Structure 1
Amino acid sequence: MKLIHSHPYYKVVREIKNNEQNSTEVKETIDLYDSLIATASKQFPLKNVSDISYKPLSDSYGFLYLHTNQGVFTFMVKESPKAFIDEYLKLK
């Protein structure tokens, strides 16, 4: 399995301590391999991925959408994932 491209995404982890809610932004990567796409918590075989799309929402972030046979998975990104999407399209 060969790593082709990685792109950072961010998730917000909320936790309650001492009756206060604290939010922490955690940086993770979505990795494109020659046969699958992997995140910190899930793997998607490329045969199960039908499309990848991106919607910028502001100057500071947007959403990367991974369309699969299990539904659409959303990842918050701060930089354009154009290179990641272009590499994915080369494999299709």
Structure 2
Amino acid sequence: MSTIAFSKDETALLVRKIQLYFSQELSQQIGQFDAEFLLDFFSKEVGAYYYNRGLYDAQSALNAKLEDVQDAIYQLEQHTDFKR
């Protein structure tokens, strides 16, 4: 798996969200450096779990669509004397 990297703009947005969360939910102020450090920590330590969950969800959605395609193909099949 390659490292997930955010652009400067994305990082700035996420840092602001962390700062806002600390301010609103914890009534604490957190500086930009500390928020970036926290973002890096969660990205490295927890990010893979979220990434993998996204892959599992995508795989499940794809499998459901493939089953639909298989059913559609089966419905197109014409009756013959041949056996599968």
User: Rg larger in 1 or in 2?
Assistant: 2
TM-score range, shorter chain: under 0.3
Question: How high is the TM-score relative to the length of structure 2?
Answer: 0.25
Which structure has the highest helix share of the two?
2
Question: How high is the TM-score relative to the length of structure 1?
Answer: 0.24
Higher relative contact order (CA 8 A, sep 6+): 1
Which structure has the highest strand share of the two?
1
